[in-house]
Amino acid sequence: MEVLARRQFLRFLAASPLLGLTAAGRLLAEETLDAIQLPEYLIKSPADALDVFDFHNVAKQVLPTSHYGYLTTGTDGNETLAANRDAFERVYLRPMRMVDTSNVSLDTVCLDQSLNSPILLAPVGSQKAFHADGELASARAAKTLGHLQILSNVSSNSIEDVIAARGEPVWFQLYPTNNWSIAKTMLRRAQEAGAQVVVLTVDLNSESNRVLLGQFSRADDRDCNACHAAGPDAWLATKPMYAGMDSAAADWDTSGMTWDYLDRLRNETSMKIVIKGIVTAEDAASCVKYGADAVYVSNHGGRAEASGRGSLDSLSEVVAAVDGRVPVLVDSGFRRGTDIFKALAMGASAVSIGRAYIWGLAAFGQPGVEKVLEMLNAELSMVMGQMGARAIADIGPQHIGR
């Protein structure tokens, strides 16, 4: 009897405008982020982008599957990758009202260098894997908008060509190598090209377990050897910074590297030294002790170790340990103006973006990178206006909470 009554009720509902109301009520109740199904949309030009994720969607479509995997991968089950984004959600913003923010400026200074914006282009290697113009497109975009670019030593374009395209020196990022003669040659070359800062990346001294890269690569039926030479070190031979070197001797194993590597660097070059890949107070203190000019908080965009800890969470302890003695930079997971603002409020001097600008590069080349930078600058300016901060120096811990 109860079943029959229920059936009758459902039949009544189906024929009734009440069903619409019921469905609408349910939609409201379920109006969480997960329940909202966005329409599929691929932007056709950079101008259509609403946020940087619009470029991600296009990049995913246009890149070879394995290249997309290389760009996207984290480690293990991508715990750190996810943690990088989650960390932003645990920090809220505290807007300050009634401040005249009719003129917001992003101008700032980092390592004695005047910058139009605290947003930097992180070192991302092999950019021709994402667009035929490679790092030159990123450099031209950085020039148009006046952003600082950090060039990887495993770039697809040479530092000389990138500096020419940028129109100003870039910072040079160096992966350490046990083969000191290789490091030495690169340092000399970077300095002669005009670089004034070397960024030593120290977070890949052990291997990283990039499962997602493997999953995308095995789903790619292209013949990789058609573009990539075969052999374990053959790809290095295609990297301009290794030109003329015995790349087979480029020993990537730096598992024995210790802090005295900084002394070697210091003795070798007059460039300022930034240490990239620091995530703990202890290491931050060591960076200062061993004479680093800046500390760069990064977990390599979740590609180094499966710590499961967001970069923003590491930033607080690093800032506390450094205690204003040297500038602190940060990257990993930054996708929005609010993300950047939160890091600045926690004490970072500058914030680098990695995948966000590479999505722009992959999708549209130089104009894509320009639009990503433009959008992030505009978003940062907007949130500064909302928080009552007219200048980067006005941003502080009073603007955030947990």
Q: Which residues are catalytic?
A: 300
| CB-nearer residue toward ligand FMN: 46 or 302 | 302
Contact between 78 and ligand FMN (CB under 6 A)? Answer: no
Pick 356 or 387: Cβ nearer ligand FMN: 356
Q: Does 124 bind ligand FMN (CB under 6 A)?
A: yes
Number of helices (H), then strands (E), belonging to the chain: the values are 15, 12
Helix (H) or strand (E) holding 136: helix 134-145
> Which is closer to ligand FMN, CB of 343 or CB of 389?
343
Q: Which of 189, 210, 276, 309 binds ligand FMN (CB under 6 A)?
A: 276
Which of these segments, 7-15, 119-127, 177-185, 187-195, binds ligand FMN (CB under 6 A)? 119-127
**One-letter amino acid of 9:** F
Of the candidates 119, 196, 123, the one whose C-alpha atom is nearest the C-alpha of residue 155 is: 123
Reading the block at residue 40, the tokens are 């599929």
Min dist. Cβ of residue 232 to ligand FMN (A): 18
- For residues 91 and 348, is the Cβ–Cβ distance under 8 A? no
Contact residue for ligand FMN among 58, 83, 154, 340 (CB under 6 A): 154
**Nearest residue to ligand FMN on Cβ basis:** 354
Inter-CA distances, 255 with 185, 252, 260, 268, Å = 21, 9, 14, 21
**Tokens describing residue 290:** 């061993």
Smallest separation, CB 24 to ligand FMN (Å): 38
The two tokens of residue 291 are 């004479």
> With respect to ligand FMN, which residue has the nearer C-beta, 108 or 173?
173
d(CA 227, CA 195): 31
Angle among Cα 327, 328, 331 to the nearest 5 degrees reads 145
Q: Supply the DSSP string of 17-67, one letter for each residue.
A: THHHHHHHHHHHHT-STTT--PPP---SSGGG-SSTHHHHHHHHHHS-HHH
Nearer to ligand FMN, 101 or 157 (CB): 157
88 makes contact with ligand FMN (CB under 6 A) = no
Helix 355-364 crosses helix 53-62 at what angle (to 10 degrees)? 50
Restricted to residues 213-272, the positions that interact with ligand FMN (CB under 6 A) are none
201 lies in the binding site for ligand FMN (CB under 6 A): yes
The yes or no reply on residue 69 touching ligand FMN (CB under 6 A) is no
| Token pair in block for residue 6 | 């229920």
Does 70 help bind ligand FMN (rule: CB under 6 A)?
yes
Which residue type occupies 386? Q
Give the tokens for residue 190: 């970077």
Give the nearest distance from C-beta 329 to ligand FMN in angstroms.
10
Q: How far is the CB of 367 from ligand FMN (least distance, A)?
A: 20
Q: In whole angstroms, how large is the CA radius of gyration of the chain?
A: 24
Q: Tell me the sheet residues that pair with 172.
A: 151, 198
Binding flag, residue 71, ligand FMN (CB under 6 A): yes
Q: Mark 288-307 with x for binding to ligand FMN (rule: CB under 6 A) and - for no binding.
A: ----------x-xx-x----
Q: Minimum distance between the CB of residue 154 and ligand FMN, rounded to whole angstroms?
A: 5
# residues near ligand FMN by CB under 6 A: 24
Residues 338-357 interacting with ligand FMN (rule: CB under 6 A): 353-356
Least distance (Å) between residue 210 CB and ligand FMN: 10
Give 332 or 338: the residue with its C-beta nearer to ligand FMN.
332
The piece of 13-21, 88-96, 117-125, 254-262 that touches ligand FMN (CB under 6 A) is 117-125
Footprint on residues 6-45 left by ligand FMN (CB under 6 A): none
Distance CA(80)–CA(348), nearest Å, equals 20
Yes or no: say if 371 and 49 are a contact pair by the CB < 8 Å rule. yes
Query: Which of the ranges 34-42, 120-128, 186-194, 366-374 carries the binding residues for ligand FMN, by CB under 6 A?
Result: 120-128
Rounded Cα distance between 123 and 186, Å, is 16
Angle between helices 18-29 and 2-14 (to 10 degrees): 90
Rank residues 101 and 299 by Cβ distance to ligand FMN and give the closer one: 299
C-beta of 165 vs 361, nearer to ligand FMN = 361
Task: Give contact residues for ligand FMN (rule: CB under 6 A).
Answer: 70-71, 84, 122-125, 152, 154, 173, 201, 276, 298, 300-301, 303, 331-334, 353-356
